[in-house]
Chains A and B, each alone.
Chain A
Amino acid sequence: MRRDLITSILAILVFTVVLGLAYPLATTGVSQVLFPGKADGSRVEEKGKVVGSSLIGQDFKADPRYFQSRPSVTGYNPAGTYFNNLGPNQKDLRDMFRDNIAAYLDLERPFNPGLAAKDVPVDAVSTSASGVDPHISEANAAIQARRVSETRGLALERVQELIDDNTDGRSLGFLGEPGVNVLELNLALDRETA
């Protein structure tokens, strides 16, 4: 028993120093050398100032000149994340969907005549898990493209080209789902029409 206690105390010290300090600090050092941008959060700069991260979605406040991110329950907060957590059979969830659909149709229908609730892509009206999903589906982007094209006076074909340029495909061609990176697409649009 006494021997167990002594060895345990020594082991706790050794393991804490090696696994709790040496291992993460060594990983940090190597990561900072090999992948400096990614290790620091893939920050995106515009005119020398950080305006976001290519992995983190942000709020475009229903500004018609911009593509809109997926709904977020956290107000797009990457420093205080939580899930929406509404269950599949909750009236509150149905009401949230209805509100999101109404808002989406208000914004898009003037540019997409005849757009109805059943045509709205599910990613456009459901909250993401992280609250900062950087992507929207290609179908969602195709609907928003008409609005952006008209409000910016940019040819629809050009907008579609920019969408394609800023779509993250499946990794290795088959892992994950493709998604349009909203922040990078909007920055590309700003550069195009500046």
Chain B
Amino acid sequence: MTAQGWLQIAFYLVVLTGLTPLLGGYMARVYQGERVALDRVLGPIERLVYRVLRTDPARQQDWKEYARTTLVFSALFFVVLFVILRTQGIHPFNPEGFDSAPWDVTFNTTASFISNTNWQFYGGETTLSYFSQMAGLAVQNFVSAAVGMAVLAAVIRGFASRGTKELGNFWQDVTRTLLYILVPLSFVGALVLVSQGVIQTLGGYVSYATVQGLDQTLAMGPAASQIAIKQLGTNGGGFFNVNSAMPFENANGFGNFVEMLFILLIPAALTATFGRMVGNRRQGWALYAAMAALMVAGVVVAYAAEANGSPAEKAAQITGGNLEGKEQRFGIANSALWATVTTDASNGSVNSAHDSYTGIGGSVPLINMMTGEVIFGGVGSGLYGMLLMALLAVFIAGLMVGRTPEYLGKKVEAREVKLVLIGVLFVPLGVLVGTALAVATKYGAPSIYNSGPQGFTETLYAYTSQTNNNGSAFAGFTGFVQPNAPGNVGAFGITFADLLGGVAMLTGRFVPIVAALAVAGSLATKRTAPFGAGTFRTDTPTFVFLLAAVIVIVGALTFFPALLLGPVVQGLTTQLF
């Protein structure tokens, strides 16, 4: 560990905290239909979109209508994306002549991008045409993020509502999210990344002889435009197979900082959006504080563990920390910070190889995801997940003092608590069932790369990541076998891993969405009780502590036995396997 490393981590936290109220306030105005600076340019475009969609943005939806539109839209887009990826061979912008990946891999990829997971069993530069990357995947990078944020806006309206059951209009929320937030930020972000060396071209791959006369080929493509939204929209699907470890995807220290900032920028700012929309900014800061505290705890552990080095390094007398699978220009501090924040948010992009992290260092991303992706979490999904946790926390506090729990003046009763428990417990259940199926039957074995406890951790990580819609991986775990041949000749998928993972991603995405909307619909019609002397305050350090404790107890302890079998074994011994 170095002072330089800690300085960079501290600087990151300061910038993130500073931008939270600025962007958060702006987004609150966008979702409340207030005037913003971009109105003059984007207002006419917005109205044109509604005309083309033949929809009336003023038509309000209750929670059931909102949920139905979300599901119908996502289901249709699933079909379209699947067809695009399976017919890749006949599309333009395919200079390398890549054929489609097999059907099972394509199913996994489609589920992955529709659900904002961006788990990748394929390698971008060896599998996908530029057309598939742009018209297929980059579109979903935007749309799946916008869907999550739209659902959050509806959920917040339910929490803030004064007795009406209307939660807003799905098409208006999605359109305004795209036009006023995601597209402008991505466009500027992409240009910043290109200025640092990230590529953005439609030209074909470039081959040449190196200084030593060896053949080398540079993979090219429209990368920066996709990377900007991949980071901002908590998507995480790399243009290249090694994601943001590839210099063409992440060129230097400054670009790396921007990409890392983009991971948490919107999820963090949404806490401020929430505070403004419910009319009490301290409520937003309380959620931010709980998230930031858990994030800092994670990065401290990860950085210390990685700087200490791995048992394999020590057996070979290597000092200097665990740089295996990490890039020199990022070093250990920026790799550990990235690994922490990318799993706090359900982003899942990586700038180093998580599979090669030490037992303890690698358990940080794993545990981050196991909290249910609420430490900032995905854009939209993180905060509606966190709001379910907040309801659970006030419920537990209510049980302790024997009062009917309230949140923001709304009574939390049996119906809400049941829905909260569905939303909170469904995902952990999916993780454990998926992992158990994979390790208890012979079908999970072909995906595993490392022997011993590391192989178990790869499996646990894979189903944790997919069910929680994160998308990062212990990348030795595979679902796609692709011999080194151009055009994907002879490629085949590992059907069990592809299908189970795909189902995990879809259910892990849409069950909590419906549960959160149902909770919001239920709260929306309730009267707001006046604030009194006996009210349990939810904007104080006590509540922040309680909330963080509930997240750790519910999220992480569910997985304690599973963690013992993998990362803990490796972290506590110097045994080699």
Contacts and interface: CB of A to CB of B under 8 A. Distances in A.
Contact of B570 (A40, A88, A175): A88
A14 B135 CA distance: 11
B69 interface: yes
B466 interface: no
B197 A42 contact: yes
Interface string A5-45: 11111111011100111011111101110110011111100
A87 B454 contact: yes
A88 B201 contact: no
A2 B351 CA distance: 44
Interface string B195-225: 1111111110110111110101111101011
Contacts, number: 388
Interface stretch (A92-100, A146-154, A158-166): A92-100
A177 B187 contact: no
Given A81-B240, A83-B242, A177-B334, A28 B476 contact: no
Among A6, A26, A132, chain B packs the most CB atoms within 10 A around the CB of A132
A56 B251 CA distance: 10
A4 B66 CA distance: 10
B245 A129 contact: yes
B142 A15 contact: yes
A122 B313 contact: yes
Interface stretch (B47-55, B159-167, B523-531, B539-547): B47-55
Nearest to A138: B328
B253 A177 contact: yes
Interface string B15-53: 000000000000000000000000000000000010011
A15 B125 contact: no
Interface in A134-148: 134-137
Contacts of B206: 41, 43, 50
A133 B476 contact: no
Interface stretch (B272-280, B315-323, B368-376): B315-323
A144 B41 CA distance: 57
B135 A187 contact: no
A86 B450 CA distance: 7
A21 B198 CA distance: 19
A133 B326 CA distance: 9
A186 to B, nearest CB: 6
21 contacts: A8-B69, A8-B72, A12-B80, A14-B52, A16-B135, A24-B222, A27-B200, A31-B190, A31-B200, A38-B198, A52-B208, A59-B214, A78-B219, A79-B126, A85-B356, A86-B476, A118-B319, A122-B319, A126-B323, A127-B324, A179-B328
Query: What are the nearest 3 A-B pairs in CB distance?
Result: A176-B253, A87-B454, A171-B254
